[in-house]
Amino acid sequence: MELLAVVCLCLLTWSGTTFAAENGPGVIKMVVKQGGDAILPCSLSPRENIVQKYFEWKRDGQKEVFMYDSTIHSNNGGTGQDEQFRGRISHFPDQLQFGNASIVIRKTKVTDSGKYTCDFPQLQPKRRGLIELVVDPVLKDRTEENIPGAAPEPSVTILDETKAWALLQCVVKGASPKPQLQWQDSGGNMVPAKDPQVTDRGGSYDIILQTTVTKTDNYRCVATQKEINHQVHAEIYVHLNAPETPTGWIVGGVLGGLLLLIIILVITYRKRRGGL
């Protein structure tokens, strides 16, 4: 018998978890978005009651992720669990009788990425499952994490405006690595902008991005630094009053034109009558 890393269909519905094809013999690769829950599947085949058995999960062969030993486990008195995983690992107690030793890593972090092993060292022959977990980082505002060089919230202003258009400016200072700036409308669509003005201050960047808009809307300047998974934005509301042609003037102009045409026709008619 060999240890198979399998999971039932119901587990596939867990939010944030995606299963990919095998990455080599006996290895399953899993990808999960940062902050989501990752289910690491591990089951004996054929099914075998493991309620009174011993199994353990480790990452990269060293860090203890979870230990189970005849109802004693990492969450109820078991020792040795690495601090990184404390309070974030759970298993499936009602599935142990069916040989299911799967675990869940909650609120995944990028540092959770690695190769995980599920071992039954006391069984003969020994059984092991191997899973490669990849935690895909999410771009978000990491200002409070005090990451060196993280772009601060952009400064957005209206430099000039008329009733028909407005010139917007976005400024980000002291960012490293160099951020990408983009103007967006309220629907998240990119707004065409001029070429950015970039000043390199020894690896720290000041960037200015300007755009001209012609619609009333809420506009957003987004600064993105993919290298550190940091994204921050600032918004500004623009209200434009495009000049309108008064309806009365239009009606008056039409009526005046018709009256002038009638007068011309009448004069022309009388001249012709007088010449007869």
Residue spans of the domains in the chain: they are 3-136, 143-238
The fold of the 143-238 domain, in CATH, is: Immunoglobulin-like (2.60.40)
pLDDT tens per residue, range 149-198: 999 999 999 999 999 999 999 999 999 999 999 999 999 999 999 999 99
pLDDT for 257: 76
Selected residue with higher pLDDT from 121 and 25: 121
Tokens standing for residue 43: 């089951």
pLDDT for 26: 65
pLDDT for 97: 95
The Cα 133–Cα 115 span in angstroms is 6
Mean pLDDT of the chain: 86
pLDDT for 190: 97
pLDDT (average), residues 87-97: 96
Q: At residue 267, does pLDDT exceed 70?
A: yes
pLDDT (average), residues 219-243: 93
pLDDT tens per residue, range 45-74: 778 999 999 999 999 988 999 999 999 999
Residue 200 half-sphere exposure toward CB, CA atoms < 13 A: 4
Are domains 3-136 and 143-238 of this chain identical in fold?
A: yes
What letter represents residue 185's amino acid? D
pLDDT for 79: 87
Return the number of other C-beta atoms located less than 10 Å from residue 188's C-beta.
8
What letter represents residue 14's amino acid? W
Beta strands, E only, 23-97: 27-33, 38-40, 43-44, 54-59, 63-69, 72-73, 89-91
The fold of the 3-136 domain, in CATH, is: Immunoglobulin-like (2.60.40)
**Residue reference for tokens 């010139």:** 167
pTM for this structure? Answer: 0.60
pLDDT for 11: 37
Question: Please, where are the H alpha helices in the chain?
Answer: 247-275
Q: What is the DSSP string of 99-119?
A: TB--EEE-S--GGG-EEEEEE
Q: Are strands 27-33 and 217-225 parallel, antiparallel or unpaired?
A: unpaired
pLDDT for 9: 31
**Which of 85, 89, 87, 108 lies closest to 42, judged by CA?**
89
Q: At residue 110, does pLDDT exceed 80?
A: yes
DSSP 81: -
Backbone angles phi, psi at 111, to 5 degrees: -70, -5
**Residue reference for tokens 């000049």:** 243
